[in-house]
Each structure stands twice: as structure tokens, then as C-alpha cells.
Amino acid sequence: MVTIRVPLVEQRDASYDILIGSGLVPQLDTILKQYCPAAAYAIISDSQVAKLYGEDLLKRLSASGYRAQLLTFPAGEWNKTRDTWAALSDQMLAAHFGRDCAVIAVGGGVVNDVAGFVAATYLRGVPLVQVPTSLLAMIDSSIGGKTGVDVPAGKNLLGAFHQPRVVVADPELLGSLSSVQLAAGLAEAVKHGVIADADYFAFLEREYAAIFAKHAPALERVVRRSVEIKAEVVAQDEREKGKRAILNFGHTVGHAIEATSKYEVMHGEAVAIGMVYEGRAAPSARRTSRWQPGGRSDRGDARGQEGPGGRDPAGPAARHRHSPR
Ligand SMILES: NC(=O)c1ccc[n+]([C@@H]2O[C@H](COP(=O)([O-])OP(=O)(O)OC[C@H]3O[C@@H](n4cnc5c(N)ncnc54)[C@H](O)[C@@H]3O)[C@@H](O)[C@H]2O)c1
Ligand SMILES: [Zn+2]
């Protein structure tokens, strides 16, 4: 036998900037020039967001002399599929996009994930720019490089890590978002508060009326703080080998709810329900994980922390609020 080793040590700087600010999207042509120059741009969006922002963006880029094309698919989680990924990739091939192109994902989390996966796989990978348009996408799905599609066996089971060159989050775009979608996005913000920042959690509780009324300072604070938290976690563990799993709080149960409801329950709603259930399960999981062989366990201590009923009626978030940061 002969063994020939291929010595490859990966050294790359995949760092990127997340630009947050009102009125940024109309300046995308100059942002692209600085952050992601390319010979041609495939703007990928869903049917709803394409009408609101995609078509306008295409006009602007074309007017600035860029070669750009808008590719769309029907809105909805049920379209986050291999078929959509294949259709978009085929359209790019038919339009002769080469290796020197870039993909611009304009939309909510579904667009972020599908367009990101197209970019990750097209001609073995082309640069990606994320332009999130839903609150959930701005504070969560556009950051961190997770891309992919749902399959009958479950959510997000096929995909790739593919970090964007830049993320452009313009809170003005949230003006057209329904309050139901806003609430769904806020579930991920609540998650960020629970896992990382008690003061932020308290702010969300205190200012929810201003956030729902889309007051610019309140919304901008949500986008900024959540992005900071997600970026910090991702920077510590890009490929989810450990710490990044903390971002999955509420998602094990949430994904099951989404799938069994055939995606009638929105991702954020499912995560909100999932956080309640996983939060309630946490004390017993903690007891189980502290069990030690030889008959000793610290069950008593854990119950002591929870109060006489064995379960904190205020829930984990409330406990967290009072715990040190
Ligand atoms: N990759 C990640 O790290 C990550 C993280 C969290 C969630 N996700 C994924 O994100 C998806 C959920 O994202 P979502 O809630 O944004 O869903 P979505 O993309 O389906 O958007 C929700 C709806 O809002 C519409 N919409 C988006 N922006 C709008 C705007 N500005 N104005 C009006 N309508 C607008 C869309 O057309 C869609 O109908 C799930 O598939 C989830 O798995 C991925
Ligand atoms: Zn999520």
C-alpha cells in the first residue's frame, strides 16, 4: 500500500461586516462596489419581497451599469426545498452566470437560506450578499453562514456553511412587514435575551409596545443588540462544534412543531412555543445530567432552586432576568 498525504491546512479570513442603518438599501450599488465587486449579480428573492424591493433594486443596479438579473420563487417556508434550489441554479446556468458573479439574497429567512445555498453550490461556490428584509432575517438568519433547504425528513437537513461577504440590514424595510411576522421575528430576539443578555430581555419586555408600533429607535436597538449577540456567538464557534448550539434554544421542539404543522406555524412562532417547552424541561434535564453513578445525585439541590412545586412558575426567562450576566 502507498499512502500519499495531501497536506492542506485551511487558513482563511471569512470575517465580514454587518451594516445596519436606515436608508442603506438604496445605496447598495456603492456598497457592492466596496464589499463585493462582481461581473454580474443574481438577485434572488421571493414573490412577495421581489415586488416590494427586488424589482426596484434591479432597476437601480441596472441603472448604475451593473449586469443584474432578478430570480424569484413563490414565498413561503414550504418552498424552501431542493426543487426551488434546483430551479434557481438552473436559471443562473441558463443565464450564463460565471464564477465571477455574486448572489444577492433579498428577503426573509427562507430567501436567506435558499439563496445562500445556491451561492454555496453554484459552480462550487460564489460570493453572497445578504439583504435581510424580515426582522427574523435581520437579527438571525442572515448572519452566521448557515444555508440550506428543508427535506421530507426534516428542516434544514441539506445545506452548507457559506459566509456572506457583507450583510446589509436596513430597518426601514420593516415598515411593510406585518405585525404577525414582526412578532415571529421577535421570538429570536427574546431567545437572544434569554441566552445572553438579561438587560436586553428586560428592554424587550418593557418596550414591546414601541417595538410593535415600529418606533425607529426601539426597532433599531433590537436589530443592533441581537446582531451583536449572534455575531459574538458565531465568532466563537463558526461551525457549531459547541457554543453555537446555544442559539438552538427553542429550536428542537420548534422544528418539530413547524414540520408537523406542515409549516402552517411560522418559524418564529414555533420557536416561541419551543422556548416555553424547552425552558420547562430544563430543570429536569439539569437534574438528569447531574446524576452521578453510585446512587448519588443532587436532585435535592435542584428542587431547592425551583421552589416547592419543583418547577419555577415564572419560567426560565424570568429566572435569567434576575441572574447575574
Ligand atoms: N440560517 C440561519 O441561521 C437561520 C436562523 C433562523 C431562522 N432561519 C430560517 O428562517 C426562516 C424563517 O424566516 P422568516 O420568518 O423571515 O420567513 P420568510 O422568509 O418566509 O418571511 C416571512 C414572510 O414575510 C414576507 N416578508 C419578508 N420581508 C418582508 C417585508 N419587509 N415586508 C413585507 N413582507 C415581507 C415574506 O415574503 C414571507 O411571506 C426559516 O426557514 C428558518 O429555518 C435560518
Ligand atoms: Zn430560528
Summarised one tens digit per residue, pLDDT across range 205-217 is 999 999 999 999 9
Q: Give the closest residue to 273 by CA, choosing from 287, 256, 290, 286.
A: 256
User: Per the residue annotation, which of 80, 191, 230, 287 is the catalytic one?
Assistant: 230
pLDDT in tens, 179-211: 999 999 999 999 999 999 999 999 999 999 999
Question: Does the beta carbon of 176 lie inside 6 Å of ligand 1?
Answer: yes
Instruction: Write down the domain spans for the chain.
Output: 17-173, 178-319
What is the fold of 17-173? Answer: Rossmann fold (3.40.50)
Asked if residues 88 and 149 have their Cβ atoms less than 8 Å apart, the reply is no
Judge whether residue 316 has pLDDT over 60. no
Question: Does the beta carbon of 113 lie inside 6 Å of ligand 1?
Answer: yes
Asked if residues 45 and 106 have their Cβ atoms less than 8 Å apart, the reply is yes
Question: Does the beta carbon of 139 lie inside 6 Å of ligand 1?
Answer: no
Which ligand has the nearest atom to the CA of 191?
2
Instruction: Kindly list the distances between the CA atom of residue 315 and the CA atoms of 112, 144, 180, 289, 319, in Å, as whole numbers in the listed order.
Output: 32, 29, 24, 20, 7
- Higher pLDDT: 135 or 279? It is 135
Question: Does the beta carbon of 141 lie inside 6 Å of ligand 1?
Answer: yes
Residues 6+ apart with CB under 8 A from 63: none
* Separation of CA 23 and ligand 1 centre (Å): 20
Ligand 1 pocket, mutate which of 57, 73, 78, 113 (most atoms under 8 A from CB): 113
* Separation of CA 305 and ligand 2 centre (Å): 29
What does CATH list as the number for 178-319? 1.20.1090.10
* Separation of CA 10 and ligand 2 centre (Å): 29
Compute the residue count for the chain.
325
Ligand 1 pocket, mutate which of 136, 214, 230 (most atoms under 8 A from CB): 136
pLDDT in tens, 42-66: 999 999 999 999 999 999 999 999 9
User: Residue 81 carries which side chain, given as an amino acid letter?
Assistant: T
Q: Is 215 a catalytic residue?
A: no
Write down the pLDDT at residue 18: 97
Question: Does the beta carbon of 247 lie inside 6 Å of ligand 1?
Answer: no
Q: Is 224 a catalytic residue?
A: no
Q: What is the mean pLDDT of residues 124-152?
A: 97
Q: To which residue does cell 495531501 refer?
A: 6
